[in-house]
Amino acid sequence: MLPASLAFAWLMWRRFRPGLLIVLGLLLGEAIVSAVLPQYCSVNVAKGVVGLVLSLTLPPLAMYLLVVFCHGAEGTDVLARESCFPPNLFRLPVPTGSLVVWPVVYGAAVSVLLWLFTAWFILRPWLALLDDSVPLLWPAMVATASLAWIQALLWTPFGLRGLRLLLMSVLPLGLITAPAISVYINRNWQGDQTAGISESYVAAMYACLTLVASSAYASSPAGCHRARSRSSRPRGRRHGSSGGSPGILLPP
């Protein structure tokens, strides 16, 4: 029997294998092209390729990874008050915490690896023609923090219908505003409004946002546990009496 960590990896791979193979093939193909063509291209071509990668390649890949690691293909109701965690996974013989933890861990790891691979093997050769470099740390932490917050919002139960959708709508603004406020406070603390901000500082800010999102997972397993308990209750059937009295719920 596989441990829970490998079992979840195998489960996601079995279900999304065609799409994941396409993603791997696309990344590998772009890496090969980026390793060969830049030396034969002009600066204008390099600018166009970088724009295409950032606008047409990364967004679809990011959306697909959201589907994989947030169980977004389950057709759940985002407006519902209950947790959007897929009910069919509740039947797995693993603790409720494992249902939440391993998709979170794998999602964070894949988000970081996706950006590092794209930045180093695809973008870096083209940016070298522009005498520019690509940051590695903070974009990877942005991807991790974004995925962590989306997972937390989807899997956490809410008391008000539609509140989850509202919070997800303002999430991008929050991910942009929180580090900006931190940078502003840091500059005022130093007394220099033009002080530069290092990449490691920005990465640390998004790492803190990821840790804040992880605190919401404390309610995610709880919500999944309640939903799991409800889904495991035996469904009853109603039997009406001949006298017309109301039916009662009996176990099957």
Query: Which DSSP string corresponds to 220-240?
Result: HHHHHHHHHHHHHSPP-EEE-
* CA 15, 150, 221, 141 torsion-angle sign: positive
Write out the two tokens for 8.
């979840």
- Give the integer Cα–Cα distance in Å for 11 and 88: 12
Q: Is it the case that residue 248 has pLDDT exceeding 70?
A: no
Write out the two tokens for 40.
């034969």
In the chain, which ranges are continuous DSSP H helix? Answer: 4-36, 43-52, 58-69, 96-117, 124-129, 137-155, 163-190, 199-216, 219-232
pLDDT, tens digit, 9 for 90 and up, residues 176-187? 776 677 666 666
- Give the integer Cα–Cα distance in Å for 208 and 219: 19
Place 56 in a pLDDT band, splitting at 50, 70 and 90: confident
pLDDT value at residue 35? 93
pLDDT, tens digit, 9 for 90 and up, residues 112-132? 999 999 999 999 999 998 888
CA-closest candidate to residue 108, choices 236, 213, 233 = 213
Write out the two tokens for 156.
């956490």
Angle at the Cα of 222 from the Cα atoms of 218 and 228, rounded to 5 degrees? 145
Q: Which of 100-109, 113-122, 160-169, 186-195 has the highest mean pLDDT?
A: 113-122
Residue matched to tokens 């940016």: 127
In sequence order, the 6+-apart residues with CB closer than 8 A to the CB of 202 are 137, 138, 141, 179, 183
Q: Which of 81-85, 232-236, 245-249 has the highest mean pLDDT?
A: 81-85
Burial of 159 (0-12, 13-18, 19+ CB in 10 A): exposed
pLDDT value at residue 221? 53
Q: Is it the case that residue 240 has pLDDT exceeding 70?
A: no
Mean pLDDT of 214-224: 56
CA torsion, ordered 69, 70, 71, 75, to nearest 10 deg: -150
Place 243 in a pLDDT band, splitting at 50, 70 and 90: very low
